[in-house]
Structure formats: structure tokens, C-alpha cells
Amino acid sequence: MLLRRLARPLLATAFVADGVDTLIHPEPRAKTAAALVQRGERSLPDNVAAKLPADPATVVRINAIAQVSGGVLLALGKAPRLASLVLAATVVPATVTEQDFWAEEDPDRKAAKRTAFLKDMSLLGGLLIAAADTEGKPSLGWRGRRAARNAAATVSAALPFGAAAEGSGGESLRQHAHDAAVRARSLGDTAVTRGSEFAETVQTHGPEWAAAARQRGAAIAAVAKERGA
């Protein structure tokens, strides 16, 4: 879409320019970061202060490299969502170290830093929107909900018509299972009854059937012997 091709480079321009400037002139920001770390070591608890970076200048350079890399990727439209997340992660430390208007005593500098702080927050909001932009493609949440609905429809279609007509859900499935169990129990009782009747019949008429079978067998054997050739 043309709008994305224009908006992404515009959003990335500030980060690329800022990252390049930091790599060329890292000293001012490194000093600001070092002063912030020293202030944190004095005011924060020991367990938190121990986690602060020992070399703020290195952190500043890494943050600048991330800004340049993420900005270039976003401007070119390569992995734009990931690039937006990386840039959003670089906004927070830069904003805290450079736009700390709450620690400024001079009214003019405090107002300037407050304005810059609000601009950084606006950039952060734009990056979060860009990170959530799926370019018109369904999100993972939408795909998951659709797959769940399709699975439920498939299960309902596989059920007998009566159970599906009663409505989807656990109640209809339980009712269908109960009906199936009742029918199975009825068939089992019928089979047991018929089996008992058959056993009694065999016990009663068994000798007669055996004698008739012997007679028929002897007659068939005589005929076979006579006409076998």
C-alpha cells in the first residue's frame, strides 16, 4: 500500500539520523548516561544499583546501532513489525537519559526537555501501531478463533442429526451419549434373552436333531457309495 511506503520511511528518518549522530559524536550522550548511572547508584537500592551498566558509553553505542539498523529495515519495509519493536525499545533509554525534565531546575531547559519528552512518547505510540500493523492480513488471534470455530463446526457435523439439532455444547453431547448407552443396554438385554432361549431350545431338541442328522448322513453315504463311480 502506498501509504505504508510513505509513512514507514518518515517514521524511521528520526531514528536513523539520531543513531548516526550518536555514533559520530557519542561523548555528550555517554556523559549524560554516566551521570544518570551515578545518580542511580546513589539513590537506588543496592540490589537494583548492581544491575546498572558498568560502561554507559557502550550501552549508548549499542542503542545507536539498534536505531540505525531498525530504522533502515523499517524504511525499506523489511521485517517492519520487528524493526518497529526494536526502535520502540531504543526510545525508552534515550528518553530517560536525555529528556529528564523532572530533574532540570532551569525553567527554559525544563520546558524544552518536556516538549522533547512528549515528542518521544508520540514516536513510541507510532512505533507500537507500526508493530501491530499486519498489512491487512488476519492477526494470530483472529486465526486462532477462526480455527476453533471451524473445529467446533466439524465436530457438530460429525454428530448424528438429532444430537446436532439439539444444539452444540456439552449438554447435547451428554444427551446423545446417554441415548446411545440406553440403546446399547437394551440390545445387550435382548441378546442375553435370545441367547438363553436358543440354549434351551438346543438342550431340548438336540437329541432329535442329532438322530435326524445321523439318518440323513447314512442315506447320503449310501447314495454316494452306490452312485459314486
Residues 125-172 pLDDT 10s: 989 898 888 777 766 666 777 777 777 777 666 655 444 444 455 566
Per-residue pLDDT for 72 more than 90? yes
Q: Where are the domains of the chain?
A: 2-132, 162-227
Whether the predicted model's global pTM rises above the 0.85 cut: no
- Percent of residues in the chain assigned helix, strand, coil, to nearest 5: 85, 0, 15
* Calpha distance 95→86 (Å, rounded): 15
Q: Are 104 and 88 in contact (CB under 8 A)?
A: no
* Calpha distance 31→79 (Å, rounded): 33
* Calpha distance 5→1 (Å, rounded): 7
